[in-house]
Amino acid sequence: MHERAYERFSPQSTIQIIDKLDGTALGVLINISKGGFMMLSEGICPEAGEIRQVQLIDHDSGNPDISVGATCLWQDEANARHSYWSGFQIIDISPEDQEKLDRYIEFLEESSRKKK
């Protein structure tokens, strides 16, 4: 079994993934780690090797508001028609956004511990 470099956490609210170049909503965040994230999209099927500059944001609360450069490592068709699972690796992140990502993952980690 392949061991992951970082533990993954599921968001507690709907986090939109927005293309920073054209403002298009690409999908929703399914889980996230310090090294990447998984997205569920409808209609938009990223291809492996695609590089995107994206913003992760909860439009209701405004948090987190994290911008990253990420490359699509894989994609697979989901059970629903025209829906796709995609795995992304974070390849570029500013120090400020890295701090936001670290705080967000810390929050998700603490929340998941409380549920156990």
pLDDT tens readout for residues 78-105: 988 889 999 999 999 999 999 999 999 9
- How do the domains of the chain map onto residue ranges? 16-115
Task: Give the pLDDT score at 15.
Answer: 95
Task: Give the pLDDT score at 21.
Answer: 94
d(CA 93, CA 66): 9
By CB atoms closer than 10 A (0-12, 13-18, 19+), residue 27 is: buried
Classify domain 16-115 at the CATH topology level.
Thrombin, subunit H (2.40.10)
Task: Give the pLDDT score at 82.
Answer: 87
Indicate the pLDDT class of residue 1, thresholds 50, 70 and 90.
low
Task: Give the pLDDT score at 81.
Answer: 84
